[in-house]
Amino acid sequence: MSKNKPIQVFEYQKLKIGQDGFTETHFQSLVLFNEKNSNKYFTAVHKGILFNCYVGVIQIGGLTIEILPKADSNDNKLIWRDVLLHMLKECKLIQVDNVSETHLKKKYNSVLEAYYDIYLNEIEYLIKRGLIKKYRKNQSNQLSLKGKLLFSQNIQKNLVHKERFYCSHQVYDRNNLIHQILLEGLSVLQHLETRGFTDRINRIMLEFDKIDKVKITPRHFAKIQTNRKTKPYTNAIQIARMLILNYSPNISSGNENMLTLLFDMNKLWEEYIFRILHKYKPATYKVSYQNSDNFWENKRIKPDILLTKEDGENFIIDTKWKITTSNKPSDEDLKQMFVYNLHWESPKSMLLYPQIDQKDSEFGNYKFKYNDRINQCKLGFVSILDSGRIKKGKQLCDEILSKIQ
């Protein structure tokens, strides 16, 4: 495993050329990658990069950059990397169910190394089980008639060699789409500078020597059908998809290969809060995520989280991953939450922010009543950390539910 430590920065922080091995070549590769993605991941500044709400990891050649979330005064980057891994695991964006979080903290230098190691573990497990075989059609020259003779192709290819037959026949072997995808994922790792994994990758590749090399695209993943034989491949295919679809080989002449794994922290926070509530809520609550509904013409409205008690009463939670010093909702947020309250007949709504040292606001009343119902809104704050450790999910869930009572 690579001993090179990644560059670690926080969201909305700058990374300058010359800092911790970040070179002009790395800078140019990032700028070109960002331009190809509508400049959404960061901003190019004078001799550097200014990151925004996207967190995750970027590998350019042998350099790894981790962009970490940060929502309080704690500057311990190891803690915030563990927070990121924890949130990705809860949201099923990293398949590490068979690896403990303590193991993750001790073993890996970066988030990407976790993916690499788990991917190789999964393939080694599949090899020990025995790689599955499938039937496929094969068209080739044969010394004896096998299957169906293709007359026109036989005339074209065997005009001189009368002893050969160009046939179409079925073959039962390992050369199928699933193994072609896994092979492409291994090829991505070979092209990246994953020095600590080189021997394992080369050893595993020997098991795929008779698998065709195919340029894998998103449509190939749509063709995979899950059944009893392919179910053990699920985790490996998911990680292969991440590796293949996020890999940018030589995105411009002279630049290095790049792999990116970036997440919008606003969306990650939103899904994380939903999954915590869904996992730990009492039986008296029902939790639904992004309940989209018609609003006006072809426009729709979609609150982040809708809580419903067993008596049918609704509560709205809208998550915000940003630091606010105000103790009152903005005018824009108030209007948005008011619409949610009316549309879903919810008496209360809450804007939920990460906590530094803020205190919840009191529920404020909207002056306009609907069906003689008082509608209310407040700001709520929760911390994902407790004394420098990741807060237990049940504790976090209970804190959130207590805020809407």
* Structure confidence by residue, pLDDT tens digits, 46-63: 999 999 999 999 988 778
Burial tier of 144 (Cβ tally within 10 Å: 0-12, 13-18, 19+):
exposed
Number of independent structural domains in the chain: 3
In a domain, 144, yes or no: yes
If pLDDT is split at 50, 70 and 90, which confidence band does 106 have?
Answer: very low
| 164 and 187 together in one domain | no
pLDDT for 129-143, tens place per residue? Answer: 999 998 878 787 887
In a domain, 223, yes or no: yes
| 28 and 125 together in one domain | yes
Judge contact between 88 and 390, C-beta under 8 A: no
| 210 and 260 together in one domain | yes
| 218 and 343 together in one domain | no
Give residue 199's pLDDT.
Answer: 93
| 200 and 295 together in one domain | no
Range of the domain at 160: 134-173
> How many whole angstroms separate alpha carbon 69 and alpha carbon 10?
6
pLDDT for 281-310, tens place per residue? Answer: 999 999 999 888 888 888 888 999 999 999
Q: What angle do CA 53, 270, 289 make, to 5 degrees?
A: 145
Beta strands in 26-153 (DSSP E): 42-45, 48-51, 54-60, 63-68, 134-142, 148-149
Could you tell me the maximum CA-CA distance found in the chain, to the nearest angstrom? 92
Of the three residues 144, 173, 202, the one that is the final residue of a domain is: 173
If pLDDT is split at 50, 70 and 90, which confidence band does 275 have?
Answer: very high
Bridge partners of 42, per DSSP, are 51
| 99 and 201 together in one domain | yes
If pLDDT is split at 50, 70 and 90, which confidence band does 393 have?
Answer: very high
In a domain, 61, yes or no: yes
| 226 and 311 together in one domain | no
- pLDDT score of 97 more than 60: no
| 189 and 314 together in one domain | no
Bridge partners of 50, per DSSP, are 14, 43
Burial tier of 298 (Cβ tally within 10 Å: 0-12, 13-18, 19+):
exposed
Mean pLDDT of 381-394: 92
Q: What is residue 85's three-state secondary structure? A: helix
- pLDDT score of 96 more than 70: no
| 378 and 314 together in one domain | yes
Give residue 256's pLDDT.
Answer: 65
Give residue 363's pLDDT.
Answer: 95
Mean pLDDT of 178-200: 89
| High-pLDDT (> 90) share of the chain, % | 53
In a domain, 274, yes or no: no
Average pLDDT, the chain: 87
Q: pTM for the whole thing?
A: 0.80
DSSP notation for 45-79: ETTEEEE-SEEEEEEETTEEEEEE---SS---HHH
Give residue 291's pLDDT.
Answer: 81
Judge contact between 208 and 176, C-beta under 8 A: no
- pLDDT score of 315 more than 60: yes
In a domain, 70, yes or no: yes
- pLDDT score of 104 more than 70: no
Q: What are phi and psi of 372, to 5 degrees?
A: 60, 20
Of the three residues 235, 264, 293, the one that is the final residue of a domain is: 264
In a domain, 273, yes or no: no
